[in-house]
Structure 1
Amino acid sequence: MMTAIIETSGLTRSYGDICALKPLDLCVPEGEWLTVMGHSGSGKSTLLNLLGGLDRPSGGSITVRGTDLATLSEDGLARFRRDCVGIIFQQHHLIPYLTALENVMMSQYFHSVPDEAEARHALERVGLGHRLKNRPGELSGGEQQRVCIARAIINSPRLLLGDEPTGNLDHKSTTMVMELLRELRDEDRFSIVMVTHNQEVAAWGDRTIHMDDGCLVREERTKGC
């Protein structure tokens, strides 16, 4: 039996009278690429924020790599995000006055000690070894997203979360980013949970769950392109 990296039981999240996530039981095996789909307000981003320790559940349990996130203090959640999770957002959130290399090194700063050689290697892995000294404004949208991927993997996370990471990219750049993520996942054997509206993007994963009104309504195996 495969080891689970994520397990939730009766997981819920409410904001006042609004129930954004209804009781959810979910298991994600180590190494799986799980895609989460659903219309706006379906609960998928709420789920992603809970998995990343960016928000706290209202009820139920959420365990990542054997740690119940509900039991962690704010400092404990910060350490969890630092040590276990890499996050790629739709908006790049790169610091505009820093170079690509410096942006990646900033992620190391919060984890341990910045290492220029390691940051350079991460950028080389995503095909940006020739763009180390360029600032975000000098990079294309696809290149900026690859910097974000390098930043997300620099600390060797076991769980990579993606919140519409290709939402602002054209088809060619989307395909390049997805191919890169698959290559990195196969090399490093981390797990991926990715939120997307794009059915073609979802097809790159191993399994897709569909959410509606805060509930998991169905799931399906995908071919992984």
Structure 2
Amino acid sequence: MVAEGEWLTAMGHSGSGKSTLLNLVGGLDRPSGGALSVGGTDLLALSEDGLARFRRDFVGIIFQQHHLIPYPTALENVMMSQFFHSVSDEAEARLALERVGLGHRLKNRPSELSGGEQQRVCIARAIINSPKLLLGDEPTGNLDHKSTAMVLELLQELRDEERFSIVMVTHNQEVASWGDRTIHMDDGCVVREERKRS
């Protein structure tokens, strides 16, 4: 159970089930049994089209690999996410990039951006459609310490403003400590849980 506005991190060795958990919650995979409800939506009852609409309307995803399209600019990459949701709005995309500190990099292509800047474009792309749930698949895994801290601070600030929930998987204990709660996984099961001390 993830509460509204909560930041949950999942830790575990490779193959422990962290990415599978993320894919299930995001409607990218289907479970072989049991029940799965996200934001009051029974994901098992949805068709493939229904799952696609759920992801479009409810979920933002930040990957470890940036998955930015190489030739469009940062602004155009963010606008593409809008296109699949409803309609592209350049002013909104510009504002999203300004919120992540990239108002001066709107016209730059991904190859012209640092790793931290590329990841901030991904964050802008993930939040542009006002998701209720933000999923992070090792989003700081390829970043240096300074860029990691910048991305985590940004996510915390945006979460506090927008009140979306975050589910993030990581191998890094320092990254996990940013969450309100951390679950430790092994062989597809939660074996331990920790809450951040107030």
TM-score category of the 2 structures, normalised to the smaller one: over 0.9
The residue aligned with 2:72 is 98
- SS at the partner of 2:136? strand
The residue aligned with 1:173 is 147
CA deviation vs aligned residue, 1:100-157 (integer Å, no higher than 9, x gap): 0000000000000000000000000000000000000000000000000000000000
Q: How does 1:61-140 map to 2 (within 5 A)?
A: 61-140=35-114
Shift of residue 214, structure 1, vs aligned partner: 1.2
Normalized per residue, the structure richer in strand is 1
Normalized per residue, the structure richer in helix is 2
The residue aligned with 2:117 is 143
User: Could you tell me the percent identity over the aligned residues?
Assistant: 87
Aligned residue type for 1:222 = K
- Measured in 1, the distance between the counterparts of 2:151 and 2:115 equals 11
Q: What residue ranges of structure 1 are gaps of 5+ in the alignment?
A: 1-26
- SS at the partner of 1:124? helix
- SS at the partner of 1:216? strand
2:129 to 148, 151, 155: 155
TM-score, normalized by length of structure 2?
0.99
Aligned residue type for 2:129 = N
- SS at the partner of 2:36? strand
Aligned residue type for 2:159 = R
TM-score, normalized by length of structure 1?
0.87
Deviating above 6 A after TM superposition, structure 1's stretches of 4 or more consecutive aligned residues are: none
Q: What residue ranges of structure 2 are gaps of 5+ in the alignment?
A: none
Aligned residue type for 2:65 = Q
Q: Is the 8 A contact 1:203 1:223 kept in 2?
A: no
- Measured in 2, the distance between the counterparts of 1:40 and 1:223 equals 27
- SS at the partner of 1:204? coil
Q: More displaced, 71-80 or 215-224?
A: 215-224
The residue aligned with 1:15 is none
- SS at the partner of 2:67? coil
Q: Is the 8 A contact 1:87 1:162 kept in 2?
A: yes
Shift of residue 213, structure 1, vs aligned partner: 1.2
- Measured in 2, the distance between the counterparts of 1:215 and 1:61 equals 15
- Measured in 1, the distance between the counterparts of 2:177 and 2:73 equals 33
- Measured in 2, the distance between the counterparts of 1:213 and 1:29 equals 24
- Measured in 1, the distance between the counterparts of 2:14 and 2:196 equals 22
The residue aligned with 1:185 is 159
Shift of residue 46, structure 1, vs aligned partner: 0.3
The residue aligned with 2:171 is 197
Instruction: Tell me the matched-pair count.
Output: 198
The residue aligned with 2:181 is 207
Shift of residue 222, structure 1, vs aligned partner: 1.9
- SS at the partner of 2:91? helix
